[in-house]
């Protein structure tokens, strides 16, 4: 299993181009949504079930329960032994996995077309029939604790990112890690898992997404056979009503660890998403992120790495696909002898250039072409397409978000990019993180002159 961060969704790169078949949709009588993305190039299928519930919907004190349940979905049901699900899929020549996000949880199988009915039967079975054997549940809880130790607690960069996220969001549940806080994972119970499963794993909260060599007409009788007879259940009451208060102070975090060999600097800005806040800026922010730091031709890379040699790496990242607020990220690794304050000053210089003068028309054109070209390449992957349509559906955006992505990107103007920058680049809504070596930390801080920037 894995936790899928939004960075892995390739959200900017999965739009529909002219001549490409669009998704077909329908809804079963029990409320389960169905999205079909036909592609007849190969006799293969990506089959996914998405649940409109994620880590952001967890009750206070129960962080990690969404991810915990994801693990338990691979345990025994009334009809299959633990691990048998994946074994059966593997025998068909396919593969399967799952991921948990702040806003949803998804399960998938990549299979030959002839194995579709098998995958649907297995997936519909575990939607209804998971057995919660206490010994197995608590054993899996220990597995997740070890996963947390390995992926987060043993990774200085991950720990800093976790602390920065918890600091950036003052009120929104995005402040909690998707995997959960260690002490809260350790206290999750069998009853907690049962309640999450009973309350949310039902057709009223589910979306079936099938991408590949099939049409909606072919899929509908199979969907009705395997999923249509399951009782609808009740829709989840989500935490998407929670909003951020006004941010009034810039924040800084310093994290030191003996595993760190070279210092790093990151800065998070609170940003709107395609759903939350001033969403009209979302597409322009995606373009701005590409212009600032998505490649070795970007503004920050050319300024900080190539021209002034202040950094050995520099980049930016923005994700518009959230139910709640997003974040715009700047990051860099200083060159030897360059202070962290100098890196921050370089961040500010690039930001101020955009705020005062906007972006170059040539950079804007290049960015939009690159994003759209990447979309043409990436949509060849059936799983990518299923991921994108599923994420959009889970957030209530619909297929049009995916199919109009490139058109919306192409419409972005220089004025819109500058307006988006002015909306987001407010130091009072930011968190800056320093990652430093632990050894001789006082000397390291002095050497890199951790301090105020202009």
pLDDT tens track for 103-119: 999 999 999 999 999 99
3 three-state secondary structure: strand
Query: Which of 100, 41, 90 minimizes the C-alpha distance to 68?
Result: 100
* Contact criterion met (CB below 8 Å) for 49 and 35: no
Q: What is the mean pLDDT of the chain?
A: 92
From residue 444, give the alpha-carbon distance in Å to each of 1, 136, 261, 263.
38, 47, 11, 9
* Contact criterion met (CB below 8 Å) for 149 and 124: no
Residue of higher predicted confidence among 62 and 380: 62
Give the number of other CB atoms < 10 A from CB of residue 353. 16
Quote the CA–CA distance of 342 and 388 in Å, as a whole number: 39
- At residue 381 the predicted structure's pLDDT band, cuts being 50, 70 and 90, is confident
Query: In which residue are the tokens 């918890």 written?
Result: 166
Residue 410 exposed, middle or buried by CB count within 10 Å (0-12, 13-18, 19+): middle
The token duo for 392 is 């959009």
Q: Which residues, in sequence order, are CB contacts of 25 under 8 Å at separation 6+? A: 33, 34, 35, 36, 216, 399
**For 180-234, where are the alpha helices, taking DSSP H only?**
182-185, 190-200, 216-226
Q: What's 115's DSSP letter?
A: G
Q: Where exactly are the structural domains of the chain?
A: 2-226, 251-382+397-448
Name the least confident of 188-197, 290-299, 366-375: 366-375
Write out the DSSP string of 389-413: HHHHHHTT--HHHHHTHHHHHHT--
User: In this structure, which topology does domain 2-226 adopt according to CATH?
Assistant: Cytochrome Bc1 Complex; Chain A, domain 1 (3.30.830)
Report the pLDDT value the prediction gives residue 21, as an integer from 0 to 100: 59
User: In this structure, which topology does domain 251-382+397-448 adopt according to CATH?
Assistant: Cytochrome Bc1 Complex; Chain A, domain 1 (3.30.830)
Beta bridge partners of 97: 108
133 three-state secondary structure: coil
* Total count of residues recorded for the chain: 454
* Contact criterion met (CB below 8 Å) for 343 and 7: no
Residue of higher predicted confidence among 454 and 296: 296
* Contact criterion met (CB below 8 Å) for 108 and 89: no
Query: Which of 260, 329, 253, 321 minimizes the C-alpha distance to 294?
Result: 329
Quote the CA–CA distance of 111 and 164 in Å, as a whole number: 39
Query: Which of 7, 264, 71 minimizes the C-alpha distance to 156?
Result: 264
The token duo for 311 is 């950094």
Residues tagged active-site: 70
* Contact criterion met (CB below 8 Å) for 239 and 287: no
- At residue 442 the predicted structure's pLDDT band, cuts being 50, 70 and 90, is low
**Angle, CA 414 vertex, CA 413 and CA 420 arms, to 5°:** 90
Name the least confident of 19-28, 56-65, 96-105, 425-434: 19-28
Quote the CA–CA distance of 336 and 330 in Å, as a whole number: 19
Name the least confident of 16-25, 127-136, 292-301: 16-25
Tell me, yes or no, if the two domains 2-226 and 251-382+397-448 fold the same way. yes
For the beta sheet containing 430-437, the strands, ordered from the edge strand earlier in sequence to the opposite edge, are: 251-257, 430-437, 264-271, 326-334, 311-318
Report the pLDDT value the prediction gives residue 14, as an integer from 0 to 100: 35
Report the pLDDT value the prediction gives residue 333, as an integer from 0 to 100: 98
């Amino acid at each position: 299993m894995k936790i899928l961060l939004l960075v892995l969704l390739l959200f900017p790169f999965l739009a529909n181009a002219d001549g490409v078949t669009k998704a077909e949709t329908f809804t079963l009588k029990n409320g389960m949504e169905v999205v079909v993305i036909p592609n007849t190039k190969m006799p293969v299928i990506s089959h996914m079930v998405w649940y409109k519930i994620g880590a952001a919907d967890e009750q206070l004190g129960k962080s990690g329960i969404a991810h915990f349940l994801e693990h338990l979905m691979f345990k025994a049901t009334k009809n299959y032994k633990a691990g048998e699900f994946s074994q059966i899929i593997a025998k068909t020549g396919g593969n399967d996995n799952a991921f948990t996000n702040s806003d949803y949880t998804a399960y998938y199988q990549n299979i030959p077309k002839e194995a579709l009915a098998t995958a649907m039967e297995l997936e519909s079975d575990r939607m209804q029939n998971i057995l919660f054997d206490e010994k197995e549940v608590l054993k899996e809880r220990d597995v997740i604790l070890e996963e947390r130790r390995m992926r987060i607690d043993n990774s200085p960069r991950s720990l800093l990112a976790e602390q920065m996220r918890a600091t950036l969001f003052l009120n929104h549940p995005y402040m909690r890690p998707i995997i959960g806080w260690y002490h809260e994972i350790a206290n999750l119970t069998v009853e907690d898992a049962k309640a999450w499963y009973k309350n949310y794993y039902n057709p009223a909260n589910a979306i079936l997404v099938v991408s590949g060599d099939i049409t909606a007409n072919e899929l509908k009788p199979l969907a009705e056979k395997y999923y249509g007879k399951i009782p609808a259940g009740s829709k989840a009451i989500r935490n998407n009503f929670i909003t951020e208060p006004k941010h009034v102070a810039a924040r800084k975090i310093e994290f030191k660890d003996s595993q760190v060999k070279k210092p790093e600097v990151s800065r998070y800005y609170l940003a709107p998403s395609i759903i939350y806040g001033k969403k009209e800026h979302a597409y322009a922010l995606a373009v701005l992120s590409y212009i600032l730091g998505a490649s070795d031709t970007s503004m920050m890379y050319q300024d900080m790495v190539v021209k002034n040699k202040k950094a050995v790496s520099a980049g930016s990242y923005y994700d518009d696909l959230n139910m709640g607020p997003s974040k715009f990220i700047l990051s860099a690794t200083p060159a030897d002898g360059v202070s962290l304050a100098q890196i921050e000053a370089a961040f500010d210089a690039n930001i101020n250039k955009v705020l005062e003068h906007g972006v170059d028309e040539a950079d804007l054109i290049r960015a939009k072409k690159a994003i759209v070209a990447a979309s043409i390449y990436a949509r060849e992957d059936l799983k990518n397409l299923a991921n994108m349509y599923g994420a959009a559906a889970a957030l209530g955006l619909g297929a049009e978000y995916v199919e109009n992505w490139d058109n919306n990107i192409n419409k972005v103007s220089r004025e819109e990019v500058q307006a988006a920058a002015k909306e987001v680049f407010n130091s009072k809504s930011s968190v800056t993180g320093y990652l430093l070596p632990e050894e001789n930390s006082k000397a390291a801080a002095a050497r890199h002159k951790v301090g105020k920037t202009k």
